[in-house]
Amino acid sequence: MSVIFSAESAGLMYPDGTQALIDTSVKVAAGEFVSIVGPSGCGKSTLLRMASGLIAQTTGTITRTGTVQFVFQDSTLLPWRTVRKNVALNLELQKIDQRIINERTSVALALVGLTDSADKLPRQLSGGMKMRTSLARSLVCEPDLYLFDEPFAALDEFSRERLNLELRNMLSTRNAGSLFVTHSIAEAVFLSHRVLVMSPRPGSIVKEFVIPFGNDRDQNLRYTSEFAQVSGEIAQTLRELTP
């Protein structure tokens, strides 16, 4: 398994002196899905921003091979662009040939089930559809590493579970690695090969859970005793971290 992202003893102090991360080590291999859970303000977003190169670590080393796509918590669509033009944005910024952009955009739209809404504006979409558009915008680029910062946090339980499954299906045909930040333990367990638990600020990885399910998962998995067992252990770890 080739490692596409690794942070080794990485630390980050913001210019104002806030030590957000300390001695953080994370590895993500190609085709691997890794989730991060942790208390609010422990540095999860900071870790993702560091992984993407938006901010630089102040100590330790970060190694990244290949391209990155970032999926933000809010869908960050451009309100003056249609769904199609929003999905095409990243390709457009990479100055790719318009014909190829059109083709790949159509494929991505079909993948997230938005073909019929391609000409709508963001304000005409539901929260779930906005998030699908945002996912499509990242999927269309076929990066080597996906970074997700609580992408489904604003959705209702039902939409979230559906999108969890869809996301698994979308990623299943690719060999990209994913680093996924979430507040939902169930979501982390359902999606991931590994779940990492972070300590309160200054954040670092304190525990790793290997999720014992294969790649073939469906919604019923959520109601099995094994699922409850792992989720319970992670919840217990989180509770012990926050007094």
Ligand X SMILES: Nc1ncnc2c1ncn2[C@@H]1O[C@H](COP(=O)(O)OP(=O)(O)O)[C@@H](O)[C@H]1O
**The dihedral sign for the CA sequence 123, 128, 134, 137:** negative
Q: What kind and span of H or E run contains 163?
A: helix 157-172
x/- contact string, 127-166, with other proteins (CB under 8 A)? ----------------------------------------
The size of the interface with Mg ion (CB under 5 A), counted in residues, is 1
C-beta closer to other proteins: residue 176 or 230: 176
Residue 43 interacts with which of other proteins, ligand X, Mg ion, none, CB < 5 to 8 Å by class: ligand X
Cα gap 156→131, rounded to integer Å? 12
> Computed over its alpha carbons, how large is the radius of gyration of the chain?
18
Report 45-84 residues binding ligand X (CB under 6 A).
Answer: 45-46
Backbone region of residue 213 per phi and psi (left: phi > 0; alpha: psi in -120 to 50; beta: other values): beta
With H, G, I as helix, E, B as strand and everything else as coil, classify residue 61: strand
94 binds other proteins (CB under 8 A): yes
Interface characters, 168-207, with ligand X (x: CB under 6 A): ---------------------------------x------
Q: Given candidates 6, 19, 25, 45, which one binds Mg ion under the rule CB under 5 A?
A: 45
Phi-psi region of 196 (alpha: psi -120 to 50; beta: other; left: phi over 0): beta
**CB-based burial label for 120 (10 Å; 0-12, 13-18, 19+):** middle
Q: Which of 61-72 are b and which e, b meaning 16 or more Cβ less than 10 Å from the residue's Cβ?
A: ebebeeebbbbb
Which one of residues 11, 38, 122, 128 is an interface residue with other proteins (CB under 8 A)? 122
56 binds other proteins (CB under 8 A): no
Residue 203 sits in the site that holds other proteins (CB under 8 A)? no
- The entry of other proteins, Mg ion, ligand X, none near residue 94 (CB within 5 to 8 angstroms by kind) is other proteins
Specify the residue, 14 or 94, whose C-beta has the smaller distance to ligand X. 14
From the CB of 72, what's the least distance to other proteins, in Å? 5
Angstrom distance (rounded) from CA 217 to CA 219: 7
CB half-sphere exposure, 94, CA atoms < 13 A? 18
Of 3, 29, 30, 89, which one interacts with other proteins (CB under 8 A)?
89
Q: Which residues bind ligand X (CB under 6 A)?
A: 14, 16, 18, 20, 40-46, 201
